[in-house]
Structure 1
Amino acid sequence: MANRHPNSLYRPLSALALATVLAGCASMHNLKPESSLQDADRFQASTSLGRTPVSDVAWPKAQWWSAYGDPQLDALMQEALAGSPSIAIADARTRKAYAQAGFAEAGIYPTLGAGAQVAAVQIPETLAPAPIGGKMIHSEVLTLSFAWAPDLWGGKHAKWQSAVGAARAQEADAQAARLTLEGNIARTYAALAQAWDARDVAERDVKRNADLHALATQRVKAGIDNQIALTQITSAEDNARAQMQAADQQISALRNALAMFAGKGPDRGLSLTRPQLKADGIAIPSLLPSELVSRRPDVAAARWHVEAASKGIKAAKSDFYPSLNLSAIVGLAAGKLGDLFKSDAGLVFGGPAISLPILDGGRLRSQLRGANADFDLAVAGYDQTVLNAIRETTDAVQSARELDTQISAATSARDQQARSAMLVTQRQKAGLANQLDVLTAQKPILQLDQQLSTLRARRMQSAIDLDIALGGGVPVQLPSQSSISESGKKSQ
């Protein structure tokens, strides 16, 4: 038996491994994902966006908010990106995800450790007679231990790739958190501009009603009007003051919100002056929707989740096959420290071990079904994210387009009303109208100014929404299409 050729041992092992591989392949029969990754261009939006100018340079720049021409907004953005707790949280999650990927990678490589031990044991004479029983036996041991499970089927590598995909997804999520913060600041800043406009209109209305109140008081004293008209004007005056106070409260709340977004206390908000925003005409990129995949961080994150799930399938499949574990311990052992380095103190233990999954109660098939379902979920999540991106882009474009039309109509109406008020003023100077007529003619102008303020604020919001919908100007890294396609084919 001692002279048996080593090949005679390898043949049965090889045959057993081959049989197990075949059995593993058979046990995975009919287990595969139900979906596959498809091109984003299948979601058509060309007709909905057809009346919008197209430009090859219509993608927003990295600091997209600078196009609104307000240095105060630029400063707020820089402060927020440097000091917001939400960004710190997202970055910490990214670092943790990469640490987990590093942990998964470590499982691919062999391990080597060293140990030293001094031990003593005394066996009672009731268990073993003398000279063994009743004697304290000392031992000193120095060892080197080696362990390695070769990645025969690529499962460990796939687990590492899946962890890298999850880390890349988290990195894209961190960028999405930055974009969300930028969008919140820009939208809040635009709302602050509208609140200032609303306060201006309310303040002018307060002055107009004060003039009406003074005029009505004179008319009541002169017996021209009664107390009912004065009461109505007083009520309108109080309402105008309430509107101005509401605008002041809104300005304070929005300042506090902007300070919070910037990672600062409320006192930072007190230093904010009136916004000076400008909004230009809109245009969309010529490569929609396909380029949204590399421009939107949330779409990129969803794509990385698909990549991670595809590698998860490969990792789950590898568990069906036999695994090989190599281990060895070499060292020195002796009863006395002086004997530890003698030639006969050598200690060697180790060898290969093969593990074969035979009966597992369906655990491996359930695990593979779960991995396939994770892939289907990731693909569905990716499709939903792309659809949301296209919808948000279309909504922003259509909203801006329609608001431009409404602003044009309201501006024309306001100009006409201003000309009418000017004519009334001229008639008053000619003695053909009175002060009441002049003050009454100013009311529609204030109403139209309020309407225009609201429309312009909504138009600015649409411009911001479009910049956000197009990804905020910072392209993100994507997995290669060939990598996902190859994984998808293998999973079939």
Structure 2
Amino acid sequence: MALVAAAGLVAAGLMATGITGCADMSGITPQSSLRDAPSLGLSAAASGEADKAQVPVAAEWWRDFGDEQLNRLIAQALETSPSLKLAQARLARAQAATEAADAATLPQLNGQLDLTRQRYTANGAVPPPLAGSIRDSGTAQLNASWELDFFGKNRAALDAALGSANAAEADAQAARVLLASNVARTYFQLVRLNEQVAVARRTLAQREETLKLVQDRVSAGLDTRLELRQSEGGLPEARLQLETLQEQMALTRNALGALIGQPNGDVAQNPSAQDAIKNVAITATIPADLLGRRADIAAARWRVEASSKDVVNAKTQFYPNINLVAFAGFSSIGLGQLLNSGSQQWGVGPALRLPIFDAGRLRANLRGKTADLDAAVESYNAAVIDAVRDVADQVASSQAIGRQQAEQRAAQDAAESAYEIALQRYQAGLGNFLNVLTAETSVLAQRRLAVDLASRALDTQVALIRALGGGYTPGQAAAAQGATKIVAAGAQPFGADGTFDQKTGGAVH
């Protein structure tokens, strides 16, 4: 009879859906829509030929520069960085939330043991001989419950938690890419400063030689004190430039030390020569699958997924909750009889909770979750627009730097040729050494410019690698931490263009 009654109550709950299913949700719908690849100009048809020649960015892309010192610095940063460990801790927290949401979908079983010494009132509903007496009582039983998720509330909560966990995994990868790129860019800045210091030292030596020559000419009556004072003014200027560069090197070393977790250590005291660092081939076009390559875009997509499932969960709050509950055990007054067969008790049956009047609480909750979804969508849109701009900027800079380097090499060749001519004329007795030093000034200026342009080229290559995703592979952090179940359970509902179908959770093709 109890089972028949339980079945009847479940059926009544399902019939109640006809009432609560008509609860007013009208007027509460998302207002934002996701930007897809074609709307951003990332047409596969337009860039397909360029994509054929592209090589995906390797996970350890920094090794392509061929600098072992850089490899060691990045490895140390990835191992010790607090920012990376913070992102990993957030991932672990999101994974724990997923496990908690998963537990809510399964039956629950609890043990209970209560032992009580109690005086029963003599003037209440308790009959003699209990009335006015002091007795021991005990209960030992198992309690079971299982929420029948007819309307998908618990499943939606689990899916939302999975989306948040996958977003945290992508955030951890984005932190890894950002850290590696910052180390590389800071190290290349240190390389640039080291090269500039060498040029500045030669400039100082050249100014000293010029001053000595002018002093000799003044002593011989060939120059005046005007030329002497002008030459003397060049020495403090050269020393100032050298001191400024050395200060910048110290600050850059401090920044690099902080990135690798050694803020007070002597880092990279002997950086590699700039011409020993290999240039990395980079694409000249924006790839059509850009949105699928970047960890920050993946994180934004997963937050849209999580928010959409929160909306589903909010809608299920309008429907009944149906639980199956059961208990079995012993209960008695007097502990000596607790385990007697007559002390047995058990029960089983459904429990129905039906929202009837909540003063607008459910609508307010749904409206809030819908607003969160709109915010997540617009955050995603902002991220993809910024990603496309970032890549476009780096591609434009890379192409411009290549043209600038070609012009600078031509100017440097001309300056060095003039210097060689001045030197040959001096050696042949047709000119003085002051002309040689003057010609060398142009050569040193071009060398400084060459160092800056080469440094900008390396920096732009790293920036473009980061903009293209930095070797991000979806799911790699979760797999590394033994969380493959989470990633698999929340299989990515996005296409290569990074778009997501809000209604179905499927890829937009």
- Correspondent of 1:318 among 316, 319, 322: 316
Report the equivalent of 2:30: 33
Equivalent of 1:364, from 357, 362, 365? 362
- Is contact 2:190–2:271 with CA below 8 Å preserved after alignment? no
CA distance in 2, matches of 1:82, 1:258: 15
For 1:242, the aligned partner's letter is L
Q: CA distance change for structure 1 residues 308 and 279 in 2, over 3 Å: closer, same or farther?
A: same
Find the counterpart in structure 2 of residue 73 from structure 1. 70
Measured in 2, the distance between the counterparts of 1:96 and 1:462 equals 35
**Secondary structure of residue in 2 paired with 1:401:** helix
Paired AA for residue 28 in structure 2? L
Distance (Å, rounded) in 1 between the aligned partners of 2:423 and 2:211: 19
Residues 380-395 of structure 1: matches in 2 within 5 Å?
380-395=378-393
Contact 2:98–2:165 under 8 Å retained in 1 = yes
Give the match's secondary structure for 2:470: coil
Normalization by structure 2: what TM-score?
Answer: 0.87
Asked if residue 480 in structure 1 is aligned to residue 493 in structure 2, the reply is yes
Q: 1:92-491 residue pairs with structure 2 within 5 A?
A: 92-123=89-120, 125=122, 131-269=129-267, 271-275=269-273, 276-284=276-284, 288-349=286-347, 351-477=349-475, 479-481=492-494, 487-489=502-504
Q: Could you list the per-position Cα deviations for residues 262-281 of structure 1 after superposition, in whole angstroms to 9, with x for gaps in the alignment?
A: 22343240554335422145
The 3-state SS of whatever aligns with 1:25 is: coil
Are residue 24 (structure 1) and residue 21 (structure 2) matched? Answer: yes
The AA in structure 1 aligned to 2:468 is L
Q: C-alpha separation between the residues in 1 aligned to 2:500 and 2:203?
A: 65
Whole-Å separation in 2 of the counterparts to 1:417 and 1:28: 77
Deviation readout 1:55-87 (Å, 9 max, x if unpaired): 434322121111111111111111111222221
Letter in 1 for 2:22: C
Q: Counterpart of 2:349 in structure 1: which amino acid?
A: G
Instruction: State TM-score, norm by structure 1.
Output: 0.90
- Between the aligned partners of 1:124 and 1:247, the Cα distance in structure 2 is 90
Between the two proteins, the alignment pairs up a number of residues equal to: 484
Offset of 1:319 from its aligned partner?
A: 0.4
Q: Percent identity?
A: 34
Distance 1:403 1:124 in 2: 93
The letter for the 2-side match of 1:90 is A
Structure 2 counterpart SS, 1:467: helix
1:257 to partner: Cα distance: 2.1
Q: CA RMSD for the aligned pairs? A: 2.9
Q: Does the residue aligned with 2:403 lie in a helix, a strand or coil?
A: helix
Identify if the C-alpha distance between structure 1 residues 62 and 132 changes in structure 2 by more than 3 Å, giving closer, same or farther: closer
Name the CA distance, whole Å, in 2 between partners of 1:327 and 1:368: 29
Structure 2: segments with no counterpart, 5+ residues: 476-490
- Do 1:307 and 1:484's aligned partners in 2 also have CA atoms closer than 8 Å? no
In structure 1, what residue type is equivalent to 2:282?
I
Deviations 1:191-239 (A, max 9, x none): 1111012111111110110001111222222333333322222221111
Distance 2:313 2:154 in 1: 7
* Alpha-carbon distance in 2 for matches of 1:124, 1:32: 58
Contact 2:35 2:499 in 1 (8 A): no
Confirm or deny: 8 A CA contact 1:173 1:301 kept in the other structure: yes
Return the alpha-carbon distance in structure 1 between the equivalents of residues 296 and 80 of structure 2: 22
Q: Equivalent residue for 1:58?
A: 55
Deviations 1:371-405, CA, capped at 9 Å, x for gaps = 22222222222222111111111111110101111
Alpha carbons 2:2, 2:348 under 8 Å: kept: no
Residue type at the aligned position of 1:97: A
Tell me how far apart the structure 2 counterparts of residues 234 and 46 of structure 1 sit (CA, whole Å): 62
Question: Would the aligned equivalents of 2:3 and 2:349 in 1 still touch at CA under 8 Å?
Answer: no
Contact 1:296 1:476 in 2 (8 A): no
| CA shift in 2, pair 1:132/1:292, >3 Å | same
**Amino acid corresponding to residue 95 of structure 2 in structure 1:** Y
Inter-partner Cα distance in structure 1 for 2:379 and 2:337: 67
Distance between the aligned counterparts of 1:119 and 1:471, measured in 2? 64
Q: State the alpha-carbon separation in 2 of the partners of residues 281 and 12 from structure 1.
A: 69
Shift of 1:29: 2.1
* Residue aligned with 2:110, SS: strand
Structure 1 residues 119 and 296: CA distance shift in structure 2, 3 A = same
Q: Distance in 2 between matches of 1:346 and 1:313?
A: 45
Report the Cα distance in structure 1 between the residues aligned to 2:500 and 2:186, rounded to whole angstroms. 42
C-alpha distance 486-345 of structure 1, shift in aligned 2 (>3 A): farther
Q: Which digits, 9 at most, give the CA deviation of each residue in 1:106-165, with x for residues without a partner? A: 111121111222211113556689754442111122111112221110111110110011
Give the whole-Å Cα distance in 2 for the aligned partners of 1:338 and 1:309: 56
- The worse-fitting range, judged by mean Cα deviation, of 19-28 and 148-157 is 19-28
Are residues 201 and 132 of structure 1, via their aligned partners in 2, closer, same or farther at CA, if it must alter by over 3 Å?
same
Following TM superposition, by how much is the alpha carbon of 1:101 offset from its aligned partner in structure 2, in angstroms? 0.9
SS at match of 1:267: coil
Instruction: Note if contact 1:199-1:247 (Cα within 8 Å) is conserved in structure 2.
Output: yes
